[in-house]
C-alpha cells in the first residue's frame, strides 16, 4: 500500500511539475524577447530598465514607438527599486537603464564603467506637506518629519540646498527614508509631515486631498535633474549603433511627450501599471510640472550634483564629469517621435 501511495505521489508530482513548466515556458509560443524578426529582417534589440515614475516616462514611450519601427527594438523592463537595477547592471544582465543621477556617480566612483548618455526629464519632483499644516516655507518645517526616497536621491541633496538658503540647520528637520509608493499613505496617516519625491507619488496626495504642494522642484532649482539614462561602457563599445538609436529614441519620445501630454499619459499608464488619470494629472496640472526638453546633460549641472553629493556625504571623491558623460550620441535635430497613441 505504501509503495503504491508513494508511486501515486511521485507520479502526481512529476505530472504537476511538467504541467507547470510547460505553462510557464509555453514552448508552443515563439520567443518574443530576443531579436525580433519583422518582414524577414532581424532587428537588434536592447532591454532598458526603468521604474514607474514620470521621470522615466520616455523609456516606455520609446518601447511603444519601436514596437513596429524598422530600427532597434527597445524593450523597457519595469523594476521596482533602484538597488535591483544596479545589481542587474553589475551582474551584466542589464546594459542600459534610467537611474537617479547621484547613484550613477556612485557607481562610477566604485569603478563600474557606466556613462550618462542623456537625462530623463527636467523638474518633475514636488515637496508635499500635510494639508492641515500651515507651513509656507521650509523654515516652518523645523522639528517636523520629512520623507525622501533615499539618501542617494537628488531630492535629498536639493532639500539640503534649500535648507542652506533658508538658514535651516541640518538637524532641525527629521529626515526619514521611505519607498515613494508609501509616502502618500504615510502623509495621509500623519506619520510624516512632508515629503519630497518624484512624480507621480506627490500628485497622488494632491489628488487624494491629503496633501498640498509646498514647492515644485522648479521653484527650488530651475531645470532640476532627477534621473539620467545610463549605459555600460561595454555596450557603448560593442554596439554603438544601438546606443545611437536608443538616445535618439528617448529624445524623440521626450519631444513627443512634451507636445502630446494626454497621449503620453495614455501610452505610459499601462507600462507603469498606474491609473491613467494620475499620470495625466502629473503631465498637465500644471503642464510645467514636468519637462521633457533640454535633456542634454551639461558638465555644470552634473558637477553641481556631484559637489552637493560630496557635501552631503554620499559621494567620496570628485569624479571627473568628463569621464562620466558621453554626449556623442545625442542627435542635433530632435523631432517628435511618430506615435499613434490611439
Partner 1 sequence: MSQRRLNVRSILLPVAVFAAALALWDGVSRAGFFDKSALPAPAAVILAFGQEIRSGRMFNDLVTSLFRVTVGFLIAVLLGIPLGLWMGQKLAARTAFLPLLNFLRNLSPLAWMPFAILWFGVGDASAIFLICLSAFFPVVLATMAAVANIPAVYFRVAETYGLRGFEKLVQVTIPAIMPQLITMLRVSAGLCWLVVVAAEMIAGRDGLGFAVMDSRNGLRMDLLVAEMVVIGVIGVVLDRVLERLSRIPSVRWGYER
When asked if residue 192 is in the footprint of partner 1 (CB under 8 A), the reply is: no
The pattern of x and - marking residues 306 through 325 that bind partner 1 according to CB under 8 A reads --------------------
The torsion angles phi and psi of 327, rounded to 5 degrees, stand at -95, 5
When asked if residue 335 is in the footprint of partner 1 (CB under 8 A), the reply is: no
Nearest approach, Cβ of 181 to partner 1 (angstroms)? 5
From candidates 1, 27, 40, 322, binder to partner 1 by CB under 8 A: 1
Q: 101-109 and 299-311 helices cross at what angle (nearest 10)?
A: 80
Nearest approach, Cβ of 298 to partner 1 (angstroms)? 31
- The residues that bridge with 302 in the sheet, in sequence order, are none
Kindly identify the residues of this chain, within the stretch 16-55, that bind partner 1 according to CB under 8 A.
Answer: 16-17, 20-21, 23-24, 51-52
When asked if residue 56 is in the footprint of partner 1 (CB under 8 A), the reply is: no
The torsion angles phi and psi of 109, rounded to 5 degrees, stand at -60, -35
Residue 200: is the preceding peptide bond cis (ω within 30°)? yes
When asked if residue 281 is in the footprint of partner 1 (CB under 8 A), the reply is: no
**What is the DSSP annotation of 75-133?**
EEEE-S-HHHHHHHHHTTS--EEEEEHHHHHHHHHTT--EEEEEES-EE-EEEEEETT-
Long-range contacts of residues 187-192, Cβ cutoff 8 Å, at least 24 apart: 187/128, 187/130, 187/211, 190/130, 191/145, 192/145, 192/146, 192/147
From candidates 60, 200, 211, 249, binder to partner 1 by CB under 8 A: 200
Nearest approach, Cβ of 13 to partner 1 (angstroms)? 8
Collapsed DSSP state (helix, strand, coil) of residue 48? strand
Nearer to partner 1, 97 or 306 (CB): 97
Nearer to partner 1, 172 or 276 (CB): 276
From candidates 67, 93, 237, 311, binder to partner 1 by CB under 8 A: 93
Residues 75, 65: Cα–Cα separation, whole Å: 10
Nearest approach, Cβ of 79 to partner 1 (angstroms)? 8
When asked if residue 285 is in the footprint of partner 1 (CB under 8 A), the reply is: no
CA 28 to chain centroid, in Å, comes to 35
Point out which span in 122-130, 139-147, 200-208, 225-233 binds partner 1 (CB under 8 A).
200-208
- The residues that bridge with 119 in the sheet, in sequence order, are 228
| 58 dihedral zone (left: phi>0; alpha: psi -120 to 50; beta) | alpha
When asked if residue 273 is in the footprint of partner 1 (CB under 8 A), the reply is: yes
Point out which span in 77-85, 107-115, 247-255, 323-331 binds partner 1 (CB under 8 A).
77-85
By CB under 8 A, name the binding residues for partner 1.
1-2, 5-6, 9, 13, 16-17, 20-21, 23-24, 51-52, 77-81, 83-84, 87-88, 90-91, 93-94, 179-182, 184-185, 188-189, 200-201, 204, 208, 210, 272-275, 278
Amino acid at each position: 500500500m505504501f509503495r503504491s501511495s508513494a508511486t501515486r505521489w511521485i507520479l502526481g508530482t512529476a505530472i504537476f511539475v511538467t504541467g507547470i513548466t510547460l505553462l510557464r515556458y509555453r514552448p508552443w509560443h515563439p520567443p518574443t524577447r530576443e531579436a525580433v524578426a519583422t518582414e524577414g529582417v532581424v532587428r537588434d534589440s536592447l532591454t532598458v530598465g526603468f521604474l514607474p515614475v514620470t521621470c522615466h516616462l520616455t523609456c516606455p514611450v520609446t518601447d511603444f514607438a519601436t514596437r513596429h519601427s524598422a530600427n532597434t527594438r527597445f524593450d523597457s523592463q519595469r523594476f521596482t527599486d533602484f538597488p535591483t537595477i544596479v545589481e542587474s547592471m553589475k551582474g551584466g544582465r542589464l546594459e542600459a537603464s534610467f537611474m537617479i543621477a547621484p547613484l550613477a556617480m556612485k557607481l562610477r566612483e566604485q569603478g563600474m564603467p557606466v556613462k550618462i548618455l542623456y537625462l530623463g526629464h527636467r523638474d518633475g519632483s514636488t515637496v508635499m506637506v500635510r494639508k492641515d499644516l500651515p507651513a509656507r516655507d521650509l523654515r516652518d518645517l523645523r522639528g517636523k518629519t520629512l520623507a525622501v526616497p533615499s539618501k542617494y536621491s537628488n531630492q535629498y541633496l536639493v532639500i539640503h540646498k534649500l535648507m542652506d538658503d533658508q538658514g535651516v540647520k541640518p538637524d532641525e528637520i527629521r529626515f526619514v527614508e521611505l519607498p515613494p509608493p508609501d509616502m502618500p499613505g504615510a502623509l495621509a496617516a500623519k506619520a510624516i509631515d512632508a515629503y519630497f519625491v518624484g512624480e507621480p507619488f506627490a500628485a497622488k496626495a494632491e489628488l487624494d486631498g491629503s496633501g498640498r504642494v509646498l514647492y515644485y522642484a522648479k521653484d527650488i532649482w530651475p531645470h532640476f535633474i532627477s534621473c539620467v539614462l545610463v549605459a555600460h561602457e561595454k555596450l557603448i563599445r560593442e554596439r554603438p549603433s544601438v546606443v545611437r538609436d536608443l538616445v535618439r529614441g528617448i529624445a524623440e519620445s521626450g519631444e513627443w511627450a512634451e507636445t502630446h501630454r494626454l497621449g503620453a499619459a495614455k501610452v505610459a499608464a499601462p507600462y507603469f501599471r498606474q491609473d491613467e488619470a494620475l499620470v495625466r494629472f502629473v503631465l498637465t496640472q500644471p503642464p510645467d510640472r514636468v519637462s521633457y526638453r533640454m535633456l542634454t546633460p551639461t558638465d555644470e549641472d552634473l558637477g553641481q550634483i556631484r559637489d552637493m553629493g560630496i557635501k552631503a556625504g554620499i559621494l567620496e571623491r570628485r569624479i571627473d564629469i568628463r569621464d562620466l558623460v558621453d554626449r556623442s550620441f545625442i542627435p542635433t535635430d530632435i523631432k517628435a517621435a511618430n506615435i499613434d497613441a490611439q
